[in-house]
Structure 1
Amino acid sequence: MNNFSTEIYKALSQGLNIDQIICNELQDQINYLLKTELTAFLDYDKHDVRGYNSGNSRNGFYTRDLETKYGTIKVEVPRNRNGEFNQQTIQPYARRTDDLETAILHLYSKGVTTAEIADLIEKMYGHAYSPATISNITMAVEEHVQAFHSRKLNERYTVVYGDATMINVRRDSVSKEALHILIGITPEGTKEVLDYRLYPQESSENYKEMLEDIKQRGTLEILLFVTDGLSGLANACLDVYPKAKHQACWVHIQRSVSRNVCAKDKKEVLDDLKPVYRAKDEVEAQNHLETFKDKYKSRYPKVIKSLTDNQSLFSFYEFPEAIRSSLYTTNLIEGMNKQLKRNTKRKEQFPNEDSLDRFVCDYMMDYNRRFSTRIHKGFEVVQAEINEMFDK
C-alpha cells in the first residue's frame, strides 16, 4: 500500500474528511506531470550531461493557483531558458478545473443567477468567485441561447404547432407570463422546436411576429398549422404563409362544447361529436357533423353556431391517413409543455427573463437533440405524398 492509499485508509477509518488528502495528491501528481512534460520536450533528464552548454536548459518555474473540487492547489509550471516550452497538462490561463466550470455552466443554463452560483460555489468548494467571474465563465451559455434563436431553419415543414404555457417570472413583482412555442415536423418526419418567446400575454400578434422571424431564418413553406382557438390566430398564420392550411385543435373544440352544454348532456353530446373527427374522410365527417347539428340545433344553438363558423375543422383530412392522428390536435406540443411546466415548477419563479430564457433554451436544445433522428409516427410511409403536396 503506497503512502497515498495509507493516508486515505487512515482518514476513512477515523471518519475524517479526505478532500485535503486528495487535494495534496492531486497537486503532487500535476506538478510531476508538468516536470515530465518538460523533460520530454528537452529530451534529457535533470542534471543529465546532455543539457550542459545546450543553451536551452531548465529555468525554474512560476506558480499558479488552480481551483479544484477538492480545494486550491499550487501548480508549479516549469520553464526552459529559451521560453519555447508550452505545457499541455492544464489549459493556458486556466484558474479552475473543467469539472467546476462545467458545474457552473450547468447551473447557469438551468436559470440560476450568477450571484446565486457564486454563493453556492463558495459554500460547496470553500472559495469565492465573484458574480462577475461567474458571468465571464457563463458567456458560452448566452452564446448558445443567441445561436438557438437565430439558427438557420429548414425550408419546409409539413406541420407547425403553436401553443403557449404560463410561467412565473419576476419583474417588479412575480406574475404569470405566456411562453409562446412553435414546433415543426419536417417532410422526413423529424420534430424540432423552431423557436420560443416570452410575452406578457398570449396573442395572435405575438405568433405572427414569431412566424415572420422563422420565415426570415429560412422557412419558406408550411403545409399546415395546428393551434387552439385563440382569436385571430388562424388569420395570423395564413397572413405570413398564405398557401398553408389551418387546423383547429379538436381537443379544444371538445372543451368549448363541453363548457356550453348542461352537465347531464355532456357525455351524450361529446360521444355524438367523436364520429365527426374520427371519420375515414372529409365527406363522411361532414355527414356526421350535419347529423350532430340537426340533433342539437334547437337545444344548443350557440354550440352549433361555433361549429358552423369554424372554417378549420377538417383541414387534416387533406393529408395522408397515416399521419392524421397527429394533425387534428395540439397534443404533441401540449405534451411537451406539460413536461416543461413540471421542470419549471422546481424553480417556482424565475428572477428575470434572461434566467427563464437560459432554462428554456437548455430544455429545447435537449428536446431537439432527442428527436433529431426519430421519425414521427406515420411519416416514414408518406414522404412521397408529402413531397407531392409541396410541389403542387
Structure 2
Amino acid sequence: MTQFNITLNMDFLKESVMDSDMEAIVKSTVVLILNEFMEKERDDYVQAKAYERIDARKGQRNGYYERDLTLTIGRVTLRVPRTRDGEFSTTLFEKYSRMDQALVLSLMEMVVQGVSTRKVTHIVEQLCGQKVSKSFVSSLMEKLDPVIEKWSNRSLADIQCPYLFVDAMYIKVRENGRVLSKAVYIATTLSMRQRREIIGYQVSDVESYEAWKQFFQSLKERGLGRPKLVISDAHEGLKKAIQTEFQGTAWQRCTVHFKRNLIQSLPKKDTEEFRAGIKRIFQSLTEAEARERYEELEEKFEGQGKYEKALAILENGFEDAIQYLQYPPKMHVLIHSTNALERLNQEVRRRERVIRIFPNNRSATRLIGAILMDKDEEYALQRGITVE
C-alpha cells in the first residue's frame, strides 16, 4: 500500500472549524491529500526525496504549477509538481478524467433532453460551485459534432428499406441578424431488420423539389436502395422528387393528412353522414372493398353543392391514398400514414421548443441530430416489427 506524509495547515483548518465553514474544510483536506499524492509520485519518478543526494537519483525537481480540477465538491486548485527534464507526468488527472467526462456527457444529455443552457449553467454551479457561461455549455455540445457526423453519414448499404417514410418540420434559425424559417427533412424506414430506423435528416432553407431531390440523392449515395413504397404528405415538390429519384416506386399519400384535407373542405354542420362514409372507405381491408365504398359515397352525394369540393379532392387523391391496400392486412396500420414519423417530429419539437431560435445552422443540425440518434437507439431496443 502506498504511504505518504501529509503536512496540514493547522491554522487554516482551525479557523475553518471555528467559523463552521465545512465546505472549506473538505476542500482543503482534499487538496492536501491530492497534492501529497502527486508529490509522492514525483519522489518515485526521481527515486529520491527532496534534498536527498543518492546515486539512484534520476532527475531533479523543478517547482510546481497550478491547475484547477473539478470534483463533485466543487473546483479545487492543485500544485502540480514538475521535474527539470519535463518528462514527469502525474497520473492523478487520468484518474479523475473519467469524472470530468461523465460531467461533460451529463451536460450534453441534459441539453439533448431539452434542458435550456441557462438551467444547465445553474445546475453546474450547484454541483461544482463554479459559474460557467452559456457559451461554455455550447462549446461542450460541439464535442458531439464528430459523433453525429459519423452517424448521419453511415452506410445504408446493409439496410433493406422496403418502406420509406419522409416528412418535413420547420424550425427558426438566426442568420445574419435575421430569424428565418428553415425546413428539416427526416427519413425513417421499416427495415427488413424488423424495426423502425431513422436513416437521414437535413436542414434546408426551404421545402422544395430541388431540396427534396438533393436529400434523396444523399440517401442513395449512402447506399439506400429503391424502396417498394414511399409514404408522405402531398407536397408537390416532394411528390416530384419521389418520382424523379425513385422510379418504379409506388407513392402512398398519408391517409391522415388526406382525410384531414377532406374534412376541412366540408361545411361544419350537417355532414356527419359524409364524414362517416370517408371513415368507412379507409377502414376497408381490401382494395375492392375500398373502391365499392368510394363509389357508394360518390353516388349518394354527387350533385349536392356543399359536397362538391370534398368529392373532387377525394376523386383526385383516392388512388394514391389506397396504395397500402396492395400489401398484407397486418401491414396496413404500419404503412397507411406518416403517424409514427409525426410522433418523432413532435419529440424533436418538444426539445427544440426550449431553444425557440437556433443561433445558427450548425447548432440546429447538431441538436436535431443528437435527438434523432437518441431516438434511433431507442428504436433498436424495441420489440421487432414483422416486415413483409
Q: What TM bracket, shorter-length normalisation? A: 0.7 to 0.9
Measure, in 1, the Cα distance between the counterparts of 2:138 and 2:315. 56
| Structure 2: 5+ residue stretches without partners | 1-7
Identify if the C-alpha distance between structure 1 residues 301 and 30 changes in structure 2 by more than 3 Å, giving closer, same or farther.
Answer: same
Measure, in 1, the Cα distance between the counterparts of 2:43 and 2:68. 22
Measure, in 2, the Cα distance between the counterparts of 1:320 and 1:61. 77
Measure, in 2, the Cα distance between the counterparts of 1:110 and 1:290. 49
Identify if the C-alpha distance between structure 1 residues 365 and 26 changes in structure 2 by more than 3 Å, giving closer, same or farther.
Answer: farther
Identify if the C-alpha distance between structure 1 residues 140 and 227 changes in structure 2 by more than 3 Å, giving closer, same or farther.
Answer: same
Identify if the C-alpha distance between structure 1 residues 283 and 352 changes in structure 2 by more than 3 Å, giving closer, same or farther.
Answer: same
Which of the residues 337, 347, 354 maps onto 1:329?
337
Equivalent positions of 1:171-210 (< 5 A) are 171=175, 172-210=177-215
Give 1:212 shift: 0.8
- State the one-letter code of the partner of 2:174: R
Give 1:126 shift: 4.7
1:272-299, Cα deviation, whole Å (9 max, x unpaired): 1122222122121221222222222222
Equivalent positions of 1:118-133 (< 5 A) are 126=130
Which of the residues 321, 340, 349 maps onto 2:348?
340
Whether 2:64 is the aligned partner of 1:62: answer yes
User: How many residues in Structure 1 have an aligned counterpart in Structure 2?
Assistant: 368
Deviates further, 291-300 or 213-222: 291-300
Identify if the C-alpha distance between structure 1 residues 173 and 119 changes in structure 2 by more than 3 Å, giving closer, same or farther.
Answer: farther
Match of 2:32 in 1: 28
Match of 1:156 in 2: 160
Identify if the C-alpha distance between structure 1 residues 47 and 361 changes in structure 2 by more than 3 Å, giving closer, same or farther.
Answer: same
Match of 2:232 in 1: 227
Structure 2 length normalisation: TM-score? 0.79
Structure 1 length normalisation: TM-score? 0.78
- State the one-letter code of the partner of 1:27: V
Match of 1:140 in 2: 143
Q: Residue 312 of structure 1 aligns to a residue in which SS? A: helix
Measure, in 2, the Cα distance between the counterparts of 1:363 and 1:197. 13
Q: Give the superposed CA RMSD.
A: 4.1
Identify if the C-alpha distance between structure 1 residues 238 and 29 changes in structure 2 by more than 3 Å, giving closer, same or farther.
Answer: farther
Give 1:219 shift: 0.7
Which of the residues 225, 235, 242 maps onto 1:237?
242
Identify if the C-alpha distance between structure 1 residues 358 and 227 changes in structure 2 by more than 3 Å, giving closer, same or farther.
Answer: same
Give 1:101 shift: 4.3
- State the one-letter code of the partner of 2:204: Y
Identify if the C-alpha distance between structure 1 residues 254 and 138 changes in structure 2 by more than 3 Å, giving closer, same or farther.
Answer: closer
Give 1:145 shift: 3.5
Match of 2:4 in 1: none
Match of 1:250 in 2: 255
Give 1:152 shift: 1.8
- State the one-letter code of the partner of 1:253: F
- State the one-letter code of the partner of 1:221: R
Measure, in 2, the Cα distance between the counterparts of 1:12 and 1:107. 37
Whether 2:320 is the aligned partner of 1:317: answer no
Q: Residue 53 of structure 1 aligns to a residue in which SS? A: coil
Contact 2:262 2:314 in 1 (8 A): no
Give 1:146 shift: 2.8
1:298-354, Cα deviation, whole Å (9 max, x unpaired): 222332232222231222122232221011011101111112212222222222222
Contact 2:162 2:228 in 1 (8 A): yes
Measure, in 2, the Cα distance between the counterparts of 1:271 and 1:16. 73
Identity of aligned residues (%): 19
Contact 2:156 2:223 in 1 (8 A): yes
Measure, in 2, the Cα distance between the counterparts of 1:99 and 1:39. 31
Identify if the C-alpha distance between structure 1 residues 85 and 186 changes in structure 2 by more than 3 Å, giving closer, same or farther.
Answer: same
Contact 1:31 1:76 in 2 (8 A): yes
Equivalent positions of 1:353-364 (< 5 A) are 353-364=361-372
Identify if the C-alpha distance between structure 1 residues 338 and 180 changes in structure 2 by more than 3 Å, giving closer, same or farther.
Answer: same
Identify if the C-alpha distance between structure 1 residues 304 and 348 changes in structure 2 by more than 3 Å, giving closer, same or farther.
Answer: same
Q: Residue 357 of structure 2 aligns to a residue in which SS? A: coil
Identify if the C-alpha distance between structure 1 residues 121 and 213 changes in structure 2 by more than 3 Å, giving closer, same or farther.
Answer: same
Measure, in 2, the Cα distance between the counterparts of 1:260 and 1:312. 19
Contact 2:116 2:355 in 1 (8 A): no
Measure, in 2, the Cα distance between the counterparts of 1:266 and 1:295. 13
Contact 1:169 1:176 in 2 (8 A): yes
Measure, in 2, the Cα distance between the counterparts of 1:199 and 1:301. 37
Give 1:100 shift: 5.6
1:126-182, Cα deviation, whole Å (9 max, x unpaired): 567896x87875542222343343222244212121112222222233343322221
Measure, in 2, the Cα distance between the counterparts of 1:35 and 1:182. 57
Give 1:11 shift: 7.6
Identify if the C-alpha distance between structure 1 residues 343 and 112 changes in structure 2 by more than 3 Å, giving closer, same or farther.
Answer: closer
Give 1:254 shift: 0.9
Measure, in 2, the Cα distance between the counterparts of 1:263 and 1:33. 79
Whether 2:297 is the aligned partner of 1:292: answer yes
Q: Residue 288 of structure 1 aligns to a residue in which SS? A: helix
Measure, in 1, the Cα distance between the counterparts of 2:50 and 2:190. 68
Whether 2:221 is the aligned partner of 1:216: answer yes
Deviates further, 363-372 or 137-146: 137-146
Measure, in 2, the Cα distance between the counterparts of 1:307 and 1:78. 80
- State the one-letter code of the partner of 1:307: L
